[in-house]
Structures are given as C-alpha cells and as structure tokens.
Amino acid sequence: MTERTDTESRKLLGRLRDELAGDAPGQTRLDKITSLIATSMGCEVCSIYLFRDQETLELCATEGLKAEAVHQTRMRLGEGLVGRVAQRRQVVNTANAPKASGFRFMPETGEEVYSSFLGIPIQRLGEALGVLVVQSKDAREFSSDEVYALEVVAMVLAEMTELGAFVGEGAAMSARHSHPVMIKGTTGQEGVAEGHIWLHEPRVVVVNPIADDPQREMERLNAAVDELRVGVDKMLSLAGPDQEQRQVLEAYRMFANSKSWMRRMEEDIGRGLSAEAAVEKEQSLARARVGQAADGYLRERLSDLDDLSNRLLRILTGQGTDTGAEMPPDPILVARNIGPGELLDYGRRLKGIVLETGSVGSHAAIVARALAIPLVVHAKSVTTEALNGDHVMVDGDQGVVHLRPDDNVVAAFRDKMAMEAEALERYASIRDKPAVTQCGATVELMMNAGLMADLPSLPNSGAEGVGLFRTELQFLIRNQMPKRSELSALYARVIDAAHGKPVVFRTLDIGSDKVLTYMKPNDEPNPAMGWRAIRVGLDKPGVLRMQLQALMRASNGRPLYVMFPFVAQYEEYTRARAEVDKALERERRLGHPLPSRIEVGAMLETPSLGFAPRKFFDEVDFISIGGNDLKQFFFAADRENERVRRRYDTLNVSFLSFLEQIVERCAVSNTPVSFCGEDAGRPVEALCLAAIGLRRLSMRPASIGPVKSLLRRSNLEDLRKVIADTRHRGAMSVRPAVMDWLREQ
C-alpha cells in the first residue's frame, strides 16, 4: 500500500466534515465514517468502539466485520487488543494480531481472517472515549504516516463525540454530559452539600476541528503563539523575586518557544486540522502522559504544557474565562486544582468544592476546613465530565460526588441531609452546656481555626476556646512575606473576637505540601519528613522572631498561648523557647506592653517526642498531640495515600497504648495535654480518647456538637474497662468492642 500524503489526509478529513455537516442520525454518521476511513486507508476493516460505561467498550460501527456484531460485541477495559488500547491510551500496531499479547478472538465479528491490526485511542483532554481500529488481511505493520493520519482522524472523532455528533440508542451512544455519574475521590473536608456546578475554568469548546485552508490556519496559529509569547514575557517581567513563580513562567516560555511543539501542531494542520484542533490534540497527548509519568518533575512540566495549551486555545477561540454565565445560587465549585487565595475570593458563597487533583493537606483543603465547606479531592475526570449548571451532590464524608444524580440517589442523599439538619438542632440545645460525662469527668472541647472567618463559629459551636489557630494561611495566600504590623493587627483581631476565651497560636507550619511561593523551593524526596515547620523556623530565625513579636504586640497585655509545630526532640523545643525569651526581652526594651502571661507549648507529631527526656515534659507549658501527623508516622502510612491510610485504625490497640503512655507522662509532670486533629472530631474516636485520659480535644467547629452529645451520654469508666478487656484479650483494635458497647447503651 502506498504511503498516505498530507493532501490525502486532508481529503479524508474533508469527507468526514461533509458527513458530519448533515443532519443524519448518529448511527448513520458512524456507519459512513467507518466506510470512508476503510476506503481511504485501503483496508478491509474499520471499526469504532465507544465506552458504554467506565469499564466497558461497545462496537458501535464497522465496515468489514459482521453487521450483526454492532452493539452486541462488548469488552472490558484491558480485554483484548481493543481493550488494551483503551486502558493504556497507546497505539497498538501489529502485523499478526492473533499472535499479539492480549489478543482475544471474537467469533461473532468474523475478524479471524484479518491479520494486521492498528488501534488508536479516541481521547479528549486525557479522557478516553473509545478506540478506532483498522484491519487488513495482509500481514504488515502500518507505516508511521498511516498511524499519524489515523491519530488525526481519532482526534476529530473525539471532538465530534464531545459535540454530540454520534448520539443514538444505547448507553455507548447516549449524549455526553447527560447521564448520572458517580465519581469516587478522597475526603478533603467532611460534610454534605447539594447544588449546581460552577466551573472555575470553563472548558474551551472546539467547534471547527477540520479546516479547508492550511495556510490560513498556520497564520492563525503563529499569530496566537506570538501573542502567547508576549504575554508570558510580560508575566515574567512582573513576577519580581518570586522564584517558584518565575520557575513556572520560565517553563511556560520554554514550551512557548519550543520548535518541536510548533512543528507537531503545524504537521497536524497540514493533515487537515484547524489551529484549535491541532493545539487540543497536543494537549490531549500531554494530559494522557501526565497520568503515566512516574517522575514528579515530568508531571509538573506536562501540566505546565497543559496550562499553556489552555491559554493558547483561549486566544485562538476568543473564549475567555468569563463566559457570561451566571453563578448559580448554590454553587459547587469544580476545578483541576485551586490556590488558597482564589478559594478565599469565592468565600462562603460555595456550598461544596470538588477538585480533580489536590490533597487532604493542601492549601485548598485548609481553607475549605476553615470555611466548613465540604471538599472532595482526587475526583478523577470531574472537569471533563461536569458542565456549568449540572445538578450535583457532594458527600464529603465518603469522598463521593454524584453528578446529575437519578431520583433514587437524590432521595437517599436528601434523607441524609435531613438527618444531619435534625441532629444539628439537637446539638444546639446543648451548645452552652459543658461536656460532662455520666461518670462526672469534664472534657474541654476546643475548635481549630485559621481565618478570621472562623471566629464567628466560636460562640455558636459551643467551643471553649481555639485549641489551634493555624498562622500559615496568612503567609500562603500572599505573593510576598507579610509585614509584622499586618500580622500583629490580624492576631489582635483574632484575640478580640475570642472574647476572653483562650486562643493557641501555632507558629508557621510550612513545608511538606504547604509551600510559600516567595521562598526558595527545596526538592525533597519525602517533604512530609523533610524541611518543614519548626525546622524551617529554627533555620530561618528571622521569620520566627518576626512572628513572635507580632503575637506579643497583638496580645497587648493579655494572656498569650504559643505552640511550636512538629517538634521532634527536646533540643528543638529549647531553641525555640529561647527565641521567645529573646523576643520578650526585645519588646521589654522597646517599651511595648508584654503579655500578662505567656504559655509556650509543643505539638507532639512524631513518636520520638513521646520518648523525650523527663526534663522536656517538666519544662513545656503544654502539649498538643497532632493526631494527623503522629498517626501517619506511627504506622508509616502516608495519609495522602488511599492504598495505605485506611488500613490503620486510630482505635488500634498499639496506637491507643502509645497515646496513653503520653498522657501518663504528662500526668507525672503535671503538664496539660490535648489531642488535635481529625480524629478528635469523630465522636467514637473522641470518646475513646477521653476514656484513656485526654481531657482536652480540639476539632473543627461542626464536630463539637456530635462529640459533646456522645460524651454527655457516656460513662468513661465503663468504657475504659471495655478498652482494657479488649487489650487483655489480644485484639488488634478496640473498635468492634466499643461499637458493641455503644449499641448496648
């Protein structure tokens, strides 16, 4: 067979466009397209498989295979050569298909007589939509030109599938973005919400994938790329000293000036694509590679290319981020990812947040918790599946998103929301009552905060103070280091808003997944166990001193509670405590009012600090157990990793025994100790923490009611016996026994 030329490729795309321009039914269009492709490629067979659900492909049209196999032949993702193309999103090109790895014989199709096989993924922006296949009796591999030409055709098919050109009967040919979808992600912030989709970055729609005049399209592409380059250069000139931002923009500049990127897009245009379609073809390939790249640096660079492609598409199409659409009254924000500043701009208008990437410890998650907005992260493909205005239900408790839910899901979800609303009314009745158990033990319930927006929750939640005020948010949402006067004014407003209740300020906890854009980035293989929190503060004492001075000035003669994060050994605490003493002495010399008293504590987030010398426990004013980090380090299970984090239970006997040991050491030294973290806000876990002797728990405001309700109905002495008996029996976890005991109560 002769090689296909660019002209022949354009002819094929021209014929495809003519077929797509009519108003024929979707099935008729697909049938004609397979015939056109087979004729143009000189092959006996052309078939199009589309997904009927996330795991199943269906033969939707064919030229050359048995007609009765259409809509009857189905295969699972990864099954056979077609399933392999769909799963790996990679081309399969073989001269001897029956002998190829993974081949599955489908007797109903009559394909046994065809030896050569070429399968091309039909994908759009990294989302697999189906597979385009050509086959012939001749035992040969298809040439690189033939593969390339078919990739261009597959891209056009993807665009037309997205635009609804192939809608017909059956699940595989149903209209896109119209059927219910359940997306399983990861809980970023608990809570449930119902609303309508608001896309943070509305998708760019390519309505003209095929073009007649390649020269005109080349000119449009070059003009748009020139505009893009000027824009990137301008952003670089305005970036200032922000090294991380400059690094990203330098990557943008590199891609914008990449000759290979331009050459590939120009080749696509030469084959018959419009400028927009050529850009999106490259973008789809970049997104597909992101999921396959194991190297973190390579993933970031591919994401940079994806973002740059979006900018170029907006220039070419004129489709800006402002589409003129009105935000719904109950917006559920959907984005690939979002920064804390952008999220704060939306504020409490949002009913829920769904992110395609992100993490449970990301800036966005911290802000979502502060605003008490349900958040689901790792919601795969949500940005390509959702449309502005789609009905959606977000279950932050389970990490599930129901997009365009059916009536049964809606009914069940609304029942759950009604039950939660009813429970909130019950909790309101005990808001001002102390958390005193049936055996007479009193447990202090504190709230976690990080924004001024949190503070109105203090009186309404029933909290007795702020057990953790995260100070890093004021650093994360800025493009430069905040001034001491700005921080002092903010901290003063926080203390004022607490109306005499204690506020424990945690000093700057950056590093790991909380990176300041204006600090030099550190490439670390394991940032969660790297240069972070108090380690940064001690190595950069100027920042720590500035923050301590701001806190002292904010106290203005009132009590001040300061806590250092991620202290791993006694020496780190003594060095940090020395900085407090230096700051006090400096404020005294300057004649500024000093705190009426100052208490300095440490967060126990590493097992090592639990075994610190007795002198540490004697000297520290208070200890707060940081449950989230301590648990991941105790079990060596990354809390961002879904495969391992759910394997380990807070009510594991080993972990409870370790916590109990810390409580006992604090009791010997008469050191106040509290527990801070997600588990403090889970009623059953909170009850067990109280039973082993923890008398102060700090949690998100919405958790205080449920925790207080269960504490007031329980006898800790009886529960302590249950825990002791379970431990004596050698059980791995006390949870089953505790749940049985609660049911009996």
CB 694 within 8 A of CB 675: yes
What is residue 206's predicted lDDT score, i.e. its pLDDT?
77
What is residue 457's predicted lDDT score, i.e. its pLDDT?
66
592 is catalytic: no
Residue pLDDT, tens place only, 497-508: 888 999 999 998
Going by pLDDT thresholds of 50, 70 and 90, the confidence category of residue 362 is low
Q: In what order do the strands lie in the sheet with 181-184?
A: 181-184, 400-403, 391-395, 192-199, 331-335, 352-355, 375-377, 186-189
Phi and psi at residue 444, to the nearest 5° = -80, 130
> In one letter, which amino acid is 184?
K
Name the residue among 144, 208, 217, 148 with its Cα closest to residue 9: 148
Going by pLDDT thresholds of 50, 70 and 90, the confidence category of residue 344 is confident
What is the distance between the alpha carbons of residues 118 and 94, in angstroms, rounded to a whole number?
7
Going by pLDDT thresholds of 50, 70 and 90, the confidence category of residue 621 is very high
Phi and psi at residue 331, to the nearest 5° = -70, 135
From the list 71, 363, 378, 402, the catalytic residue is 363
32: left (phi over 0), alpha (psi -120 to 50) or beta: alpha
Share of the chain above pLDDT 90, in %: 38
Dihedral angle, C-alpha 133, 139, 140, 146, nearest 10 °: -30
What is residue 361's predicted lDDT score, i.e. its pLDDT?
62
Tell me what the mean pLDDT of segment 525-529 comes to. Answer: 68
User: Two tokens at 102?
Assistant: 């993974």
| H or E segment to which residue 187 belongs | strand 186-189
Contacts of 624 (CB under 8 A, 6+ apart): 467, 468, 504, 563, 601, 602, 603, 604, 673, 674, 675, 676, 698
DSSP, residue by residue, 630-692:
HHHHHHT--TT-HHHHTTS-TTBHHHHHHHHHHHHHHHHTT--EEEESGGGGSHHHHHHHHHT
What is residue 209's predicted lDDT score, i.e. its pLDDT?
82
Q: How many angstroms from the chain centroid is the CA of residue 436?
A: 39
Give the chain's mean pLDDT. 84
Is 429 buried (19+), middle (13-18) or exposed (0-12) by CB count in 10 A? exposed
Residue 570 confidence (pLDDT) above 90: yes
Q: Is 380 helix (H, G, I), strand (E, B) or coil?
A: coil
Residue 484 confidence (pLDDT) above 80: yes
User: Two tokens at 669?
Assistant: 């030294």
Q: Is the pLDDT higher at 115 or at 655?
A: 655
Q: How many CB atoms lie within 10 A of CB 735?
A: 18
Residue pLDDT, tens place only, 363-420: 677 777 777 789 998 888 888 888 888 999 999 888 899 999 888 888 888 887 887 7
CB 234 within 8 A of CB 241: no
Contacts of 685 (CB under 8 A, 6+ apart): 650, 651, 679
Name the residue among 566, 488, 494 with its Cα closest to residue 532: 566
CB 692 within 8 A of CB 660: yes
User: Two tokens at 399?
Assistant: 């990490």
> In one letter, which amino acid is 439?
C
From the list 46, 60, 676, 688, the catalytic residue is 676
Residue 521 confidence (pLDDT) above 60: no
What is the distance between the alpha carbons of residues 85 and 90, in angstroms, rounded to a whole number?
5
* DSSP tag of 569: S
Residue 324 confidence (pLDDT) above 60: no
Is 583 buried (19+), middle (13-18) or exposed (0-12) by CB count in 10 A? buried
Residue 165 confidence (pLDDT) above 80: no
Contacts of 468 (CB under 8 A, 6+ apart): 446, 448, 449, 504, 506, 563, 624, 676, 698
Share of the chain above pLDDT 70, in %: 88
Is 586 buried (19+), middle (13-18) or exposed (0-12) by CB count in 10 A? middle
Tell me what the mean pLDDT of segment 220-237 comes to. Answer: 85
DSSP, residue by residue, 21-46:
HS---HHHHHHHHHHHHHHHHT-SEE
Name the residue among 507, 508, 491 with its Cα closest to residue 558: 491
Of the CA atoms within 13 Å of residue 608, those in its CB half-sphere come to 10
What is the distance between the alpha carbons of residues 252 and 258, in angstroms, rounded to a whole number?
10
Going by pLDDT thresholds of 50, 70 and 90, the confidence category of residue 591 is very high
Going by pLDDT thresholds of 50, 70 and 90, the confidence category of residue 94 is very high
Q: Is the pLDDT higher at 638 or at 721?
A: 721
Residue pLDDT, tens place only, 652-701: 999 999 999 999 999 999 999 999 988 999 999 999 999 999 999 999 88
Ranking 264-268, 385-389, 524-528 by mean pLDDT, the lowest is 524-528
CA distances to 177, 309, 444, 564, 675 from 663, in Å: 54, 55, 15, 19, 10
Q: Please, what's the largest Cα pairwise distance for the chain?
A: 94
What is the distance between the alpha carbons of residues 577 and 525, in angstroms, rounded to a whole number?
30
Residue pLDDT, tens place only, 121-150: 998 877 788 999 999 988 888 888 888 888
Is 28 buried (19+), middle (13-18) or exposed (0-12) by CB count in 10 A? middle
CB 347 within 8 A of CB 368: no
Residue 734 confidence (pLDDT) above 50: yes
- Radius of gyration (C-alpha) of the chain in whole angstroms: 30
| H or E segment to which residue 564 belongs | strand 560-564
What is the distance between the alpha carbons of residues 86 and 67, in angstroms, rounded to a whole number?
22
What is residue 513's predicted lDDT score, i.e. its pLDDT?
54
pTM comes to: 0.65
Tell me what the mean pLDDT of segment 528-552 comes to. Answer: 86
Dihedral angle, C-alpha 235, 237, 240, 244, nearest 10 °: 50
What is residue 4's predicted lDDT score, i.e. its pLDDT?
44
What is residue 351's predicted lDDT score, i.e. its pLDDT?
92
What is the distance between the alpha carbons of residues 514 and 325, in angstroms, rounded to a whole number?
33
What is the distance between the alpha carbons of residues 651 and 644, in angstroms, rounded to a whole number?
16
What is the distance between the alpha carbons of residues 15 and 34, in angstroms, rounded to a whole number?
12
Q: Is the pLDDT higher at 674 or at 156?
A: 674
What is residue 701's predicted lDDT score, i.e. its pLDDT?
82
What is the distance between the alpha carbons of residues 592 and 178, in angstroms, rounded to a whole number?
64
Q: Is the pLDDT higher at 424 or at 83?
A: 83
Ranking 161-175, 282-296, 369-383 by mean pLDDT, the lowest is 282-296
Going by pLDDT thresholds of 50, 70 and 90, the confidence category of residue 2 is very low
Ranking 99-103, 167-171, 403-407, 593-597 by mean pLDDT, the lowest is 167-171
What is residue 3's predicted lDDT score, i.e. its pLDDT?
41
Residue 277 confidence (pLDDT) above 60: yes
* Per-residue 3-state assignment (H helix, E strand, C coil) for 322-373: CCCCCCCCCEEEEECCCCHHHHHHHHHHCCEEEECCCCCCCHHHHHHHHCCC
Tell me what the mean pLDDT of segment 19-47 comes to. Answer: 85
Handedness of CA 56, 57, 58, 60 (dihedral sign): positive
User: Two tokens at 341?
Assistant: 């500043």
676 is catalytic: yes
| H or E segment to which residue 196 belongs | strand 192-199
Going by pLDDT thresholds of 50, 70 and 90, the confidence category of residue 57 is very high
Q: Is the pLDDT higher at 549 or at 213?
A: 549
Going by pLDDT thresholds of 50, 70 and 90, the confidence category of residue 244 is low
